[in-house]
Structures are given as structure tokens and as C-alpha cells.
Structure 1
Amino acid sequence: TTDETQARQMAARLECGGVFINGYCASDARVAFGGVKKSGFGRELSHFGLHEFCNIQTVWKDRI
């Protein structure tokens, strides 16, 4: 498309991990890659991928 506004609106409505408009790019470690929703596939690459290897833990303790 030549209509950038239309392209961005369409991309915003899609529920997917990546959208290419009028082309594609080569792999780039700064760009997250992976599944969405309940696909069972996590994220790879970028800082988003690092979070896939983290488990959040909350520790509570009484006041001393």
C-alpha cells in the first residue's frame, strides 16, 4: 500500500508477533520474535526474550 495511515491501522488490528509492510527485514537481535497468546511459543531475541528466562518472585517478611 502507499497509504501509511491505513497500513498502521491494519497492523494495529492484527494479533500477531510481527507485521511487515511492503517488504521484510533480515533477522535483527534488537527485534523480538516469537509466538503470541496461547501459541505455546515464547519470545526470542531482544530484552523481551530475556524475560522468558526469568521467574518473578515476591518475598514478604515481617518488620524487624
Structure 2
Amino acid sequence: MLHFIITLSFPQRGMTMSTSSGNFNTKPGMTRVDVFEAIYKMACEQAGLSGGNVMFFSLEPNELPVA
């Protein structure tokens, strides 16, 4: 399981920005591009807009290392 944070700006809507975060479960055979595109699409849908510019994107394992 991966944790993501993505911030998008929507210049067609002035200074509208949207940040989404959550967990993402990959499917066998998915590439990094597949994961990014799925998260990007979901973030645009959550904002109710399309064509967002990515201002920030982070994708890391959700599990913390054992101390």
C-alpha cells in the first residue's frame, strides 16, 4: 500500500488549487506511470475539474520502518 499527496492548480479557474491525500493499492503489473495517472484522474474528479497542473506529488510506502 502506498500513501500519496497531490496538489493541483487549475489556471482556467483563477487561482483554484486542490490537495488530495490517501492510500493507493496497486494491482499486479501496474507501473509508476499507471499509479500516477490513476491518482491524477481521481484528484481531478474530486475537485470537479479537469486539466489540473501538478504542483506537488509524493508517493511513498505507507508502512513505517520498524524501529
TM-score class, shorter-chain normalisation, is under 0.3
TM-score by length of 2: 0.22
TM-score by length of 1: 0.23
